[in-house]
Structure 1
Amino acid sequence: MHVVLISACEKRALKRSRALLDSYALRAGERTWASAMTVEGLQELRAALKRTASRQTAVACYRNEGMRRMKLLWVVGSTRAFGPHGHFPAGTTRRKEAAVPTWVRHAALLADAAGQGHDVGKASIAFQRKLRDATAPQKDSIRHEWVSLKVIQALRDGADWKTAWQRLEVKAERESVPFAERGLTNVHDAFDFLVASHHGLFGPRTGRDAIGVSNHVRQNPPFDPAQYRPQAPLPEPALAFLNKKLRRLEKIVPPEGVDTPLYWRALSLVARAGLIFADHYISSLHKSKDAELYANTKFDKAGRKLDQPLDQHLSDVSGMAGRMTYRLATLRLPGLSEETVERIMERTEIRQYAWQNRAIAALETARRTTDRPALVLDLAGTGAGKTRMNAKCACALAKDRRVRFATALNLRTLTLQTGDAYREQLKIGSDELACVIGDRIAIRLHESARQQETAEFADEDENPIDVEFEAVGEEFFVPAWVEPFLKEKPRMRPVIGAPVLASTVDFLIAAGEPHRQGHHTLALLRLVDSDLILDEIDSYDPKAMVAVLRLVQMAALFGRNVISSSATLARPVATALCRAYRSGIAMRAALEGRAGQDFLCALIDDHLDPEVFVCREHSEFEGRYDSRITRLLAALHGRAFRIPCLANIAAPTVIAWRDAIAHAVAQLHEDNAWPFAQTGKRVSFGLVRIANIRPAVETARFLADRFPDAYVACYHAQDFTIQRFLKERRLDRLLIRKNGNGHLETDADIRERVSRIDSPEVKFIVVATPVEEIGRDHDFDWAVIEPSSTQSIVQTAGRVNRHRLLPRTAPNIAILQVNHRKIRGQKTVFTRPGLETDTQRYNDPRQGRDPHGHDLKHLIDWNQLPVLDAGLRFRNHPFARLDDENLTAMLEAPLKILCMEARPRDWMVEATYADYPLRDRDAVQQTWRFNYEGDTFEILAPTATGDRFIPRPDLVAEKRGIPANAWLCWSREELAEQAAIAGIALKDAFHFTISTYRFAAQEFEWDEAFGASRPLDRAE
């Protein structure tokens, strides 16, 4: 392409940009460059400009489109120097800025007032003693923010400073919750909530008890009235400011006709984030001078010192909280360049993906008629290009084509895989894309979830320790006001600034979890100005799904589009998504003073015409969704790509269960093997899906013994980091079969292995846990599936004949009659993973269920399953019906609380979030590594000097060698060599984690070929 570049840089940026542009293009004027350039070269230039950009940088790039025009592709730096289409101004005029929305001003005023009062309680003798005496208890019997609340309530009622503190001496007053049953109903309630919760939500921390003060008023240490009197009066100007701001708050009233509790909830969530932001930042500054009352302490070389006079701290936080709230609510960061958007939106000419063209046209038409936020449900089948389509949806729905979106994924490996897909398929440059790949203190988080009462705090305010996430990305622009917050978290810069983010959901989920404090505000910084893409939401267990629904609600509150994709999006999940999104829209409507809760809704898939409509009633969504599923099932009929059969099990023993797997493997290979070029042999690549790691490892050992003519691999999470990486890289290369089997037949290692086997039949078998069934773009010839749920069966089946889509006449999928838990005699079998619970068992006749409810012979109507597709999840199979019933039951109570249809104060309670976490609170990740030099296994354990790895050979029950026909495994020397090639230190390369439900270190078995596994508890 031929491009023109124009620089409007100033000061030092002009010299830097000239030098850089001179190395890429020829000058056509003093500040103009022109050159022919490739797409890759232009991306490289843009990235280089961004790396050196400052606030004086402004470089625009235009593409020559022949006789028609010069089209603006992108601007690096300030866009103020150019018009919306890239025109350089001939002159300037001044005009008033657009009016700030009323709700934004109200939120800023609320945060400003709360900032002036948030730490008044630090004037107590107890807190000032804690600041001055390093040996004083870190915990207070009454938290300082609760003291602030009670003192301010008394001041508001007319009490003087000294009298106001006496309220704390009355137990009933000290422990009373200030909110009515309906929740927040006026501006004083909202103010009180901000002050009381700026370090944490109300109790209880877990359980179903009503909102209470257990997080703020403690029984130990006991209350001492003498300690909760003011050490000194608050300076008069500070009190005068507080009274003035409280009076100003009284002018704030909700718009007429809106739901008052909804309005105050929404306003408080925004204002609270601004307050937390401001408090964290101001508290980090050094402002030491003489005073009677201080806000906190700082450490320097001389030790611990008093810092920040309390009145100054209150004033500083107040002013900044108002500004931060305004900036958060009006945040607008740079989006994708027009060039990148064009590339993403290019029409596809591939027949398999033609449905995307129709869907995008429908979304663009709808967007021209309404600017309402949109909920998109992408029901396209396996291999239909949902990753690309989701990005296209975000572009089609973006207002003013300012495209920013974040893709939330459940697995860390999928984050990197999705990032690669965005780079390679959509050509999104590294200067527009960031990836979050996980956090570094996951073990501590799991422990603190169970042991919060004894957890360490970051400071005397009892703030929780911040979570740090590993992020991959370049330097990105963020507003100056965000810079101080990122000073101690430089890895967060690309997470906030990048137009496109591929992230583990663990980071984003905190946007819907106000009890996460600083992490909550960071996640909000991303969400408020970014559309949200959710991949395979039905892969989460019900509790985790509630956490994801909270994220959906917050996205809707900020007017963002949400795009959810899954081929198995069952009715309970779809309706839950709609309810959560609608509740966020309702809060947004209350803020804006609008009646109604309408939003744009789109139902799209690869078989039917897209359906885009304005959704005004939940019943309308349910009706349209049910109708579409009925039509989708009819369209799926007759596509014989995956044909299932039942793998019968002769006896209820582990031996018979494994024999059934072996028999299925042999038969599926016989029916689906293909001739391997120039060898006269037949080959197949098959998947054996096993729900849990220990049975998977044992099954891999069994199959390696049973089939000497087979190569057996085991793929799961409990493996050396380097070995799992090598397995995934090898599987990705071998099993992407969009162009058939040619690359397999020419692969040197595969050819050598095929020739090594004397038998004319060669099987390559991957025994895998559920890490294979979500997101892996692999195409197997056949699969044996241990059932956990209908969703897991369909998802695993999606790895079979995925790319080639060859018509089949014989079965290529076998579903085991019962799963391993049933064989072990457990009463609840479709669990971890699965939706069955101890109180809602699938075979419990007391609940009107079939006693054969664990037997796939009865759970599936085999006469109605000639082919295996999403119809298994959607049709009226007993298994699908039971999954739906249990899922609906488990989601109903938390959804009602989320949407304020029940217990309308519970959104302010920590237990509401802690009881429905993204990750199982009972699960513990124990981190191990193999010490290559010391030839021993070591566990990460707490010691007097901090966490470190210590040898525990006593916990390694058995070490198994590598079978002759093991596949995708390497000797330790080979792994060390590969780690060196990849630039990974040995201490990191040989890491692995073991999941357990015990906090004590647990014995495990190491298998050189197939990884780590531990004995299963009866409860598992």
Structure 2
Amino acid sequence: MNILLISQCKKNALKETRRIIDQFAERCGERTWQTVMTEHGLNTLHKLLKRHARKNTAVACYCTYGKNQSTLKWIVGDRQQFNQQGRVPTQRRSQPILQRYYENNWYYGTAIQIMATLGALLHDLGKATVGFQNKLQTHTMAGDPYRHEWISLHLFIQMIAGCHTNQAMLTRLANFDDYQQQHPHWYQSLTTANQKVVNLSLTNVPSLGQWLAWLIVSHHRLPLCLRDERWNQSDESYHKINRDKQLQDSAYIENYTPEAFFSHLQAISQWVWSPQSQHRFPKQFWQLKQSITENKSWLSQLSRWANKALNHRNLIELAQQGTISNPLLLHLSRLTLMTADYHFSSYIVPEKQRPTSSQLIANTLRANVYNQELSQHLIGVAKSAAHFARILPSLTTELPYLSNLKPFAKRTTNKRFDWQNGAYDVAKSSALAAAEAGFFGVNMASTGCGKTLGNARIIAALSDNNTGVRFTIALGLRVLTLQTGQALRERLNLSDEHLAILIGGNVDPHHLIDNELAPEACESETSEYLVKGSESCEPLIEGDVDVVETDMDNQPLATIINDRKAKQLLLTPLVSCTIDHLIQASECLRGGKYIVPMLRLLSADLILDEPDNFDHHDLPALARLVHLAGLLGSKVLLSSATLTPDLVTGLFNAYQAGRKLWQQQQHKPALPIVCGWFDEFNQVIKSVNEQQTFQVEHQNFIDKRQQQLHKAEIRRQGLILPIDNYQTKQQPLFDYSVLANQLVAQACQLHDSYHDRDPVTQKQLSIGLIRFAHTKDVISLTHALYTKCEIPNDTQLHIVVYHARQLHLLRSRLEATLDNLLNRSKPEDLFKHIAIRQALDNSGAQRHLFMVISTPVTEVGRDHDYDWAIIEPSSMRSLIQLAGRVWRHRPNKIATSPNIAILGSNIKSLEHSQNYGVNTACFCKPGFESKTFLLNSHKTENLISHSLLKNINAIPRIIAPEVHHQELDSLILLEHRVMADLFNINTSTTEDTTRKSNVVTSYWQPDLAHAYCGHLQLLTPFRQQQMQQDDYICQYHPYDKHFCFRLAKIARQFPDDLNTGLNNHYISYESWEDVIAQNPQVQPWLNVDFYQEVQQLAYYEGEHAENSIMLKWATVTLNKEIKWYYHPWFGFYEKSIKI
């Protein structure tokens, strides 16, 4: 391609730019280059320029073609040197501008800045105590009995004592130097009374004082507002019995107003109080070493910002409305304060300017090396907060966008994906309305119709052509995150600097409360950051970020956020990430890991992929995330073919409630939300202003979709396997050998109906999937297939085990092989695959059944095509999703007989023998059954109707059944009933239709105080783990063929000491050699040699890199309280059978 490069660089940046570009192109002017270059070469040049960009760098690249035609490819550095088309101004004029257009839109922008800055000046006053200062100076490991923010709150309350109006309080702060001269002992009551105050009432504090008090006490951890006094006791039995009861007080949830919050602020254990603290002198934490409030510079800043508050009309008007309940103001002010605290805490003071032991210290670098003086820290955080609040409104326009929208607009010629063109056109026609009113969309295109690319095109169509597109795709699984990101890079021809992929990382937002019963495992008061006196130095992002270096230092945000991963994630236009990272925006109760997700939501639109595939216990957290997206002005698109009406309606309500507050912040009227519905048949855009209208429009769209689905050819038919005698008097435990023989017989029948013939040998071949709910059943069945199963003559089984409890290295290899092998777009390629070819050639049998025995990891997002499937029932959702993996790539195949078999019940029910567990929740984990919602039968024949089996598709999920009784007599009724109850959607069959809100919907009620605290996050945590989990690393000894398992954090700290951190007493290697040898008609398939795989990767890393490869990739996360067994072919499993 013909390339033209124009430089508007200044000073030394021009020299650096010339040095780089001169290696690629010839100059045709002092600041101009022209050449012919390949796309690969241009990408290399682009990366080099971005990597070496400075604040004075400004380079534009154009592609020239035809007659006088050119297009702007990209700009590196200062974009203000060029316009949107890349043209350079001929003349510049400067004039004073009080506010930019985006600042005018933020009605309360300055109010947020003032409050966050005042909070910053006050947030660490509690570090001036004798106890805290001694901790920093001695580098002690003992935890504080009360955290410094609780002491800071008490000091602030003493500062404004007697002020009952906002005017009086701000006047006191503006003239605090005079006040403390008149009242030199204003803080003396701190040492005598306050240390006994566990409950604090702020009812008499004015509204702005309450706001400041909340910012001060929550700047590290959100309050935990549990009313029971005994919660602060260390009675473990009390906690275990009463925790759920205390948290699930619906009346408390529905009536928890801001006034109630401030009337009873309780020092909860593991929030600001540590009952396990063994500090020798706890009273020292209530005694000031020096008065920080006498510092002249600090007093000057406090006076300055208090006077600004007094003179700011919008803030005073807001204060007159009473206690602040607007969650947008609360979230953004806390975000501003915490971001500034993280930024300035990372600043290393020059050695000569560091404080001495006689001064008040804010934090340290290491033992006996002090970093920031306390007044310096408070003033520095305040300045950072003021600066950050000033640039906050500009994030939506100033952060990098993907300006080239041509790949999204490109028309597809494949008829199967033609609906994407219609979706793009419809969305484009509503782009202006969506920008003003917000957008909530639903993409329900069927499996295999290209939803991933369609979603990106829809959001791009809604974006501004002049600026470009920014969006985030949030997915439930790590492997799908990587798969989706790579697919978009390939299909849209995007480089890795345009699309970042964030994988890894763990989220456990409820550990504050779950771990407080185990002092050694709960709050790490001995952690590195706490000992240094600054938790605000913790990293903002965990996990791997797959994105190249960018010219980050030229961006406004780069001056505030020092964390490199955080900057990369924020400054990349498109992001594909696991939802665990993004959901921290609403679920993070401690630390700053919510900062980057919150800023990402503020500056980019959101695509939620397969939201209904999360466990229903995770949906409250998902609703909170959608609400925050609306609250921060983003557009939201849901993508799934099996979304229930109540789930969609509930998420719409969450989004609309948030968007309404965003409109208020922008000083705009609450406009009807632009809503879009998309599938392969219809694409519709409507403006909706209430739930009832949304439900009507959604039902109209679903009715049309249902009609089209009924017209389609039947591609998936099901049958129900009869229940056999899995338990006898001789065999009281569940007999997997009976099940194995039943499944093999059924698999052979399915194989006979649907198989292919090898053109070379004429042997029959089929690939089937056997899905169980739990790993233990996968392993038990696999063992029975090898040892106790009768295989028909002339039949060969090839089995591979696939589940999540496997080393990352081996699981990734297996998934890559399955992705390649089960791509059936070209059916003839299957017989060329080496894994198929070898299996056929090494056996004389005529019938070959290749069987993937798996858990629910196969259900969602895997681009696999099977010939048939056998399923243990868990829910209608999982059945429909897994059915989508049958003939996924072969749209012309029609089912003339069943190609899916379903067990007569699930294993948990079958283990109950005769009554099959009726009156017990068996269809759960996974599934929707619970003590509240019990099925009246556990037999599949009673739970799934014959009509649904005739044609398995998404209709049962997307159409709510019309019933007028309370009995739960089917899986699909159970799922719809649970969704209606979860999102408080009133129906004629729900028990309570009068309640205003529930534990889910209370989060976005504007008159409640749930934005102030983490109560709802504790009650409905995201991906709650019943047991603590640890990361382990497998290190293999090739000489004695010994597997060694170590705790990951210890193995990485001592990589060469293989005896440190051993956990072989929890994880044991188990040989299956004798088991596998018992039946020659059953052969393992797709097995990988662990050490051979390590050596292959080490070849690219360099000599002797095997250990580093294992430290990085031979990882697994397991429950720490279970005894595990391991084999490379079968993964990790509990001991339920004798090998």
Select which of 688, 692, 700 maps to 1:627.
700
Q: Identify the range of structure 1 (384-393 vs 611-620) with the bigger mean alpha-carbon deviation.
A: 611-620
Counterpart position of 2:210: 189
1-structure distance, mates of 2:1067, 2:678? 52
Structure 1: how far apart are the matches of 2:1066 and 2:623? 43
Distance 2:832 2:868 in 1: 21
Partner of 1:139: 144
The aligned counterpart of 1:389 is: 454
Q: Which residue of 2 aligns with 1:213?
A: 267
Change (3 A) 1:974 1:791: same
* Correspondence 1:424 to 2:502: no
Question: Retained in 2: the 8 A contact 1:270–1:329?
Answer: no
Aligned pair in 2 of structure 1 residues 941, 10: CA closer, same or farther (>3 Å)?
Answer: closer
Distance (Å, rounded) in 1 between the aligned partners of 2:775 and 2:947: 33
Equivalent position amino acid for 2:221 in 1: G
Which moved further from structure 2: 59-68 or 194-203?
A: 59-68
Identify the residue that residue 759 of structure 1 maps to in structure 2. 845
Counterpart position of 2:835? 749
Q: Is the 8 A contact 2:475 2:608 kept in 1?
A: yes
Paired residue for 1:847? none
The answer on 1:699 being equivalent to 2:781 is yes
CA drift at 1:342: 0.7
Q: Does 1:199 align with 2:253?
A: no
1:379-432, Cα deviation, whole Å (9 max, x unpaired): 111011111111112211223442111211211111221121022111111221
- Give 1:887 deviation, angstroms: 3.5
**In structure 2, how many angstroms separate the alpha carbons of the residues matched to 1:779 and 1:319?**
58
C-alpha distance in structure 2 between counterparts of 1:520 and 1:275, whole Å:
13
Q: Between 463-472 and 747-756, report the one with greater CA deviation.
A: 463-472
Deviation at 1:665, TM superposition (A): 1.3
C-alpha distance in 2 between matches for 1:455 and 1:941 = 21
Return the match for 2:1002 from 897, 901, 924.
897
* Change in CA separation of 1:462 and 1:66 when aligned onto 2, cut-off 3 Å: closer
Instruction: Pick one of 542, 558, 563 that aligns with 2:616.
Output: 542
Once the two structures are superposed, what CA deviation does each residue of 1:619-640 show, in whole Å capped at 9, x if it has no partner? 2212211222222111111332
Offset at 1:67?
A: 4.2
Matched, 1:820 2:907: yes
| TM-fit CA distance, 1:649 | 2.2
Mapped pair 1:859 → 2:943 = yes
The residue correspondences of 1:607-686 to structure 2 (distance < 5 A) are 607-608=681-682, 610-637=683-710, 638-653=712-727, 654-655=735-736, 656-686=738-768
5+ long unaligned stretches in structure 2: 163-178, 227-242, 253-260, 728-734, 962-969, 985-997, 1055-1059
Within the candidate set 332, 335, 338, 1:270 is matched to 332
Which residue of 999, 1015, 1026 corresponds with 1:922?
1026
Q: CA deviation at 1:218?
A: 5.2
Q: Which residue of 1 aligns with 2:1123?
A: 1003
- 1:163 matches 2:181: no
**Aligned equivalents of 2:65, 2:201: Cα separation in 1:** 65
Q: Which moved more, 1:349-358 or 1:43-52?
A: 43-52
User: Offset of 1:710 from its aligned partner?
Assistant: 1.8
Paired letter, 1:802: R
Distance in 2 between residues matched to 1:120 and 1:69, nearest whole Å? 63
CA apart distance, 1:648 = 2.4
Contact 2:506 2:580 in 1 (8 A): no
Q: Residue in 2 aligned with 1:846?
A: none
CA distance in 1, matches of 2:812, 2:1118: 23
Distance 2:121 2:1066 in 1: 57
Aligned-partner Cα distance in 1 for 2:275–2:832: 72
Distance in 1 between residues matched to 2:482 and 2:870, nearest whole Å: 28
- Cα separation, partners in 2 of 1:829 and 1:157, compared to 1, 3 Å: same
Does residue 343 (structure 1) correspond to residue 407 (structure 2)? The answer is: yes
Residue in structure 2 matched with residue 98 of structure 1 by the alignment: 100
Tell me, in whole angstroms, the C-alpha distance in 1 between the residues paired with 2:614 and 2:955: 20
Matching residue's letter, 1:253: L
- Deviation, 1:309, is 2.9
Specify which of 817, 833, 836 is matched with residue 730 of structure 1: 817
Q: Distance in 2 between matches of 1:942 and 1:335?
A: 36
1:357 offset after TM fit, Å? Answer: 0.7
The answer to whether the Cα contact below 8 Å between 1:576 and 1:895 also exists between their aligned partners in 2 is no
Contact 2:723/2:904, CA 8 A, preserved across alignment: yes
Q: Which moved more, 1:449-458 or 1:267-276?
A: 449-458
Per-residue deviation, 1:441: 10
Alignment partners' CA distance in 1, 2:709 and 2:750: 24
Residue in 1 aligned with 2:1017? 913
Identify if the C-alpha distance between structure 1 residues 279 and 389 changes in structure 2 by more than 3 Å, giving closer, same or farther.
same
Amino acid corresponding to residue 976 of structure 2 in structure 1: D
What per-residue deviation string (whole Å, max 9, x for no partner) do you get for residues 596-652 of structure 1? 3632211111122x1212221122212211222222111111332222222222235
Residues in 2 aligned to 1:945 and 1:51: alpha-carbon distance in whole angstroms: 30
Supply the distance in 2 between the matched residues of 1:795 and 1:115 (Cα, whole angstroms): 50
Letter paired with 2:220:
H
Question: Of 1043, 1051, 1060, which residue of structure 2 is paired with 1:936?
Answer: 1043
Alignment partner, residue 242 of structure 1: 302
1:435 is paired with a residue whose SS is strand
1:107: how far off? Answer: 0.8
How many Å separate the matches in 1 of 2:1052 and 2:504? 25
Q: Is the alpha carbon distance of 1:887 and 1:116 closer, same or farther for their aligned partners in structure 2, counting shifts above 3 Å?
A: same
Distance 1:114 1:897 in 2: 27
The answer on 1:299 being equivalent to 2:396 is: no
Q: Could you tell me how far 1:898 is from its partner in structure 2?
A: 1.3
> Could you tell me which residue of structure 1 aligns to residue 865 of structure 2?
779
Contact 1:681 1:762 in 2 (8 A): yes
Task: Give CA deviations for 1:152-174 in whole Å, capped at 9, x if unaligned.
Answer: 23322357452344167446994
Residues 874-885 of structure 1: pairs in structure 2 closer than 5 A: 874-875=958-959, 878-885=970-977
Larger deviation: 797-806 or 656-665? 656-665
> Would the alpha carbon gap of residues 219 and 26 (structure 1) be closer, same or farther in structure 2, given more than 3 Å must change?
closer
Going from structure 1 to structure 2, the CA distance change for 1:533 and 1:510 (only over 3 Å counts) comes to same
**Aligned pairs (5 A) from 1:521-600:** 521-596=595-670, 598-600=672-674
Q: Check whether the contact 2:345–2:534 (CA below 8 A) recurs between aligned residues.
A: no
Using the TM superposition, give the Cα deviation of residue 510 of structure 1 relative to its aligned residue in structure 2, in angstroms. 1.4
CA distance, structure 1, for counterparts of residue 322 and residue 1109 of structure 2: 53
Pick the aligned partner of 2:953 from 869, 872, 877. Answer: 869
Q: State the partner residue of 2:429.
A: 365
Correspondent of 1:452 among 495, 519, 522? 522
Contact kept? 1:74, 1:337, Cα under 8 Å: no
Distance 2:928 2:841 in 1: 45
How many pairs align? 996
Give the corresponding residue for 1:52: 52
Contact 1:409 1:534 in 2 (8 A): yes
Aligned counterparts of 1:943 and 1:704: Cα–Cα separation in 2: 38
| Shift, 1:840, TM fit | 2.5
In the alignment, does 2:1088 pair up with 1:970? yes
Mapping 1:78-97, distance limit 5 Å: 78-95=78-95, 96=97
In structure 2, C-alpha distance between the alignment counterparts of 1:754 and 1:789, rounded to whole Å: 36
1:556·1:585 contact (CA, 8 Å) conserved in 2?
Answer: yes
Under a length normalisation based on structure 2, what TM-score does the superposition of the two structures give? 0.81
Distance 1:91 1:507, change over 3 A: same
Deviations 1:661-701 (A, max 9, x none): 22321111111101221221221111111111121122234
> For 1:835-855, what per-residue CA distance to the aligned partner results, in whole angstroms no more than 9, with x for missing partners?
222x23432xxxxxx2x1x22
Which deviations, in whole Å up to 9, do the C-alpha atoms of 1:420-460 show, x marking residues without a partner?
10221111112212211213899998996874346544225
Shift of 1:590: 2.9
Given residue 980 of structure 1, which amino acid in structure 2 is its aligned partner?
A: A
Q: For the residues of structure 2 that align with 1:834 and 1:15, how far apart are their CA atoms?
A: 64
RMSD between superposed Cα atoms in Å:
3.3
Residue 657 (structure 1) shift: 3.4
In structure 2, how many angstroms separate the alpha carbons of the residues matched to 1:213 and 1:728? 49
